[in-house]
Amino acid sequence: MSVGGRRPTRAVLCAIWAALAVLAALIVALALSVRATPPSAPAGAPVASSDSTSGPRSSLAPSAGSSSRDELSSAADDLPLRGVTVCLDPGHGSIPDLDLTPKYPGATDVMQYVEPGGAQGALTGTPEYEVTLDVALRLRDLLEGLGADVVMTRTTDDVVLSSEQRAEVANECGADLFIRLHCDGDDDDPSRSGFSTLVPADTEWTHDIQARSLEVARVMHPMIVSELGCADGGIVERSDLAGFNFCDVPSVLFEMGFLSNPEEEARLCDESYRQALAQAIADATAACLTA
């Protein structure tokens, strides 16, 4: 096409082509810039890390506060007896003491021996005080592993403690539970067997602890018998035991089996069964004190 009847000069044409080339270059550069720019993320969306080796950050990562709460919850699960005090009383001792001591506060006519010696194994002669201390030490370790504060009335065999003195240990530490460990014996009937749980009867000296003691026994006793798979001697209320009558905290006494029965004696002398006894009692203690 002509302009004003005149052909454009070569110089004008070159200038036009140069301008078009520059314009095309600008359009291409603008298109590449738009393609390289990612769309802006919506508010609140997770942002990928610029460090390609670390991967994208999770929008579900717990905050410091929630992590602390989870750790505290886990610690509570691992230590269910934290803040609980348990007093363990391994029955009897190796030194007999036939002095008389009252069975209840103020008694002068109803007495018992300070330390009568306890039962003995029918075949091996294993003394009750040896079995009870071994189980108690195993139980102590298990309860402490669950977070409990454990107070022992004795940790050796060569001590003399009356039942009243044993109860005072539990009273002074303000125990949430006083667990007394014993073995039974019946020289007249070697066939008698079973794990039994003794609790205070409702008397003027035990009225304030009787209901809670019985409640604890009703939780613990069936659990222990079931876990051990042993004969069930039941729950028995007793009004004639000084260890109950002088006690101000909930208390149970476990007769862990009959040393006068050869089969039960064999179990009570077996270390694995003693550990099983300690574990069953620890499990039942945790169940009733965290319920």
Question: For residue 193, what are the CA distances in angstroms to 120, 196, 272?
Answer: 14, 9, 19
How far apart CA 11 and CA 9 sit, in angstroms, is 5
- Identify residue 193 by its one-letter amino acid code: S
Buried-exposed string 145-154: b where 16+ CB fall within 10 A, e elsewhere: ebbbbbbbbb
Comparing 68 with 152, the larger pLDDT belongs to: 152
Is the distance from CB of 225 to CB of 257 less than 8 angstroms? no
Q: Where are the beta strands (DSSP E) in the chain?
A: 85-90, 97-102, 111-115, 149-152, 177-184, 195-200, 232-238, 251-258
What mean pLDDT is predicted for residues 3-20?
A: 51
**pLDDT over 90 percentage in the chain:** 71
More confident of the two residues 71 and 288: 288
In terms of Cα–Cα distance, which of 90, 246, 262, 142 is closest to 191?
Answer: 262
Q: What percent of the chain has pLDDT over 70?
A: 74
User: Closest Cα partner for 215 from 231, 241, 235, 242?
Assistant: 235
Write the pLDDT tens digit of every residue in 100-125: 999 999 998 889 999 999 999 999 99
Q: What is the pLDDT of residues 250-263, one digit of tens each?
A: 999 999 999 999 99
Least confident among 11-15, 100-104, 148-152, 160-164: 11-15
Q: Quick one: pLDDT at residue 74?
A: 52
CB-side neighbour CA atoms (13 Å) of 244: 27
Q: Is the predicted pLDDT of residue 6 greater than 70, yes or no?
A: no
The stretch 115-137 carries a mean pLDDT of 97
191, pLDDT greater than 50: yes
What domains does the chain contain, in order, with CATH numbers? 83-289 (3.40.630.40)
Cβ atoms of 252 and 199 within 8 Å: the answer is yes
Residue 127 DSSP code: B
164 CB-near residues (< 8 Å, 6+ apart): 101, 102, 242, 243, 246
Lowest mean pLDDT among 8-22, 27-41, 44-58, 137-151: 44-58
pLDDT grade, residue 19 (50/70/90)? low
pLDDT band at 39 (very low <50, low <70, confident <90, very high): very low
- The three-point CA angle 138-142-143 to 5° equals 115
The mean per-residue pLDDT over the stretch 208-234 comes to 98
